[in-house]
């Protein structure tokens, strides 16, 4: 359990990894699968870059799409690359490349729904560790550079500054995810949820990223909330959970 506890009705998966010591600081249901929502955009970007070496040059049109996808969680950009790069096949490719053990594509009945990709907090730590420790320098600088410049709102108008971005002083990086909330955008809006081992019904809100100098600590907090939970209430809960974590190197934001 986190020191602050988990609010009633909320399901969580948490992993906090200190890169300086090479150890997990905290884990709670860290292998539980959640639907990724927009966190999968990290894998979409990495798959795009994978075979572009050694220069990793990015055409201007792609640069614009990738920047808005990573900084502002743009869904149209994600949908473009999902279709262009064979959808669930890119998840399978990246899972194999990065050693992700509980990451899988969306249900076969809904191949276009990239937000239905299954992922865990521990696999999210593996993604960030690859980015920070093993990715070619141009890839690391591009992707992490965008995450360090995340905009206050996503292109769908939702406030991204909850969780990590609300608890810690500037210098963090974030890739947030939200799904199911009234007014949230999504790829090919679902009319009927498919059968799945992953909860595709509850409202999902996730905060992932890095905190501290030189991206010292990786934080992944995945949450599910009862259907109909107001976005502001869910984001406050995620911020409360994040604030209760032990995060080495993290400087707390001043509360005015």
Q: What is the tens place of the pLDDT at every residue in 42-85?
A: 999 999 999 999 999 999 999 999 999 999 999 999 999 999 99
Whether 256 is covered by a domain: the verdict is no
Counting the structural domains of the chain, the total is 1
DSSP state of 202: S
Return the half-sphere exposure (C-beta side, CA atoms, 13 A cut-off) of residue 96.
7
pLDDT level of residue 190 (50, 70, 90 thresholds): low
Q: Report residue 3 as tokens.
A: 């020191």
Average pLDDT score over the chain: 94
Q: Which domain, by its residues, includes 61? A: 11-243
Whether 1 is covered by a domain: the verdict is no
If you average pLDDT over residues 183-193, what whole number do you get?
Answer: 63
| Rounded alpha-carbon distances, angstroms, from residue 232 to 147, 158, 178, 204, 239 | 22, 10, 12, 13, 10
Q: Tell me what pLDDT residue 83 has.
A: 97
DSSP state of 84: H
**Structure-token match 């690359």, residue found:** 81
pLDDT level of residue 155 (50, 70, 90 thresholds): very high
Residue 27, domain CATH: 3.40.710.10
Distance, CA of 7 to chain centre: 21
How many C-beta atoms lie closer than 10 Å to residue 52's C-beta? 14
Whether 254 is covered by a domain: the verdict is no
| Rounded alpha-carbon distances, angstroms, from residue 190 to 32, 112, 197 | 23, 10, 17
**Can you tell me the distance from the alpha carbon of 221 to that of 143, in angstroms, rounded to the nearest whole number?**
20
Q: Tell me what pLDDT residue 3 has.
A: 40
Whether 239 is covered by a domain: the verdict is yes
Reported pTM: 0.95
What is the three-class DSSP state of 120?
coil
If you average pLDDT over residues 82-102, what whole number do you get?
Answer: 97
Contact of 199 with 110, CB cutoff 8 Å: no
**Can you tell me the distance from the alpha carbon of 10 to that of 235, in angstroms, rounded to the nearest whole number?**
12
């Amino acid at each position: 359990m986190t020191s602050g506890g988990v609010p009633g009705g909320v399901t969580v998966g948490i992993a906090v990894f200190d890169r300086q010591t090479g150890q997990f600081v905290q884990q709670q249901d860290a292998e539980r699968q959640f639907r990724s929502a927009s966190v999968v955009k990290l894998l979409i970007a990495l798959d795009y870059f994978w075979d572009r070496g050694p220069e990793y040059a990015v055409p201007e049109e792609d640069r614009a799409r990738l920047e808005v996808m990573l900084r502002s969680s743009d869904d149209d950009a994600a949908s473009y690359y999902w279709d262009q790069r064979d959808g669930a096949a890119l998840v399978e490719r990246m899972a194999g490349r990065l050693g992700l053990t509980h990451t899988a594509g969306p249900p076969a009945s809904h191949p276009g729904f990239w937000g239905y990709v299954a992922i865990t907090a521990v696999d999210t730590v593996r993604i960030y560790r690859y980015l920070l420790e093993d990715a070619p320098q141009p890839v690391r600088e591009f992707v992490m550079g965008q995450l360090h410049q995340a905009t206050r709102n996503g292109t769908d108008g939702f406030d991204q500054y909850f969780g990590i971005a609300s608890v810690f002083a500037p210098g963090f990086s974030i890739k947030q995810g939200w799904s199911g909330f009234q007014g949230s955008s999504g790829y090919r809006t679902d009319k009927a949820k498919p059968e799945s081992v992953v909860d595709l019904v509850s409202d999902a809100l996730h905060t992932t990223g890095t905190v501290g100098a030189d991206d010292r600590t990786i934080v992944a907090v995945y949450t599910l909330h009862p259907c109909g939970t107001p976005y502001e209430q869910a984001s406050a809960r995620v911020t409360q959970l994040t604030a209760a974590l032990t995060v080495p190197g993290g400087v707390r934001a001043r509360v005015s």
